[in-house]
Amino acid sequence: MRGEVELSRVFEDDEVLAFLDHKPVFPGHVLLIPKRHVATLDELTPEEVPGLFEKLKVISRAVPLAAGGQGCFVANNNVVSQSVPHLHWHAVPRTRGDGLKGFFWPRHAYADRQAQEAMRARLEDVILQELILDFWFGPGPGPSSEFYVKRWFAQDAEFDRSLRERFGKAMQTALDGGLTSWETTPRGRLALILLLDQFTRNLGRHTAAAFAGDERAQRLAREMVDQKIDQALTFDQRIFAYLPFEHGESAEWQRLSLKMYEQLRDQAGEKYRNYLTFAEKHAVIIEKFGRYPHRNEALGRESTAAEKAFLEGPDSTFW
| Cα-based distances in Å from 270 to 153, 262, 266 | 20, 10, 8
Q: Tell me which DSSP letter residue 295 carries.
A: G
Q: At what angle do helices 186-193 and 113-137 cross, to 10 degrees?
A: 60
Q: Is 247 a catalytic residue?
A: no
Distance CA 125, CA 129 (A): 6
Distance CA 217, CA 189 (A): 9
Distance CA 223, CA 244 (A): 12
CB atoms within 10 A of CB 9: 15
Tell me which of 22, 29, 88, 282 is the catalytic residue.
Answer: 88
Distance CA 172, CA 193 (A): 13
Q: Which residues are marked as active site?
A: 88
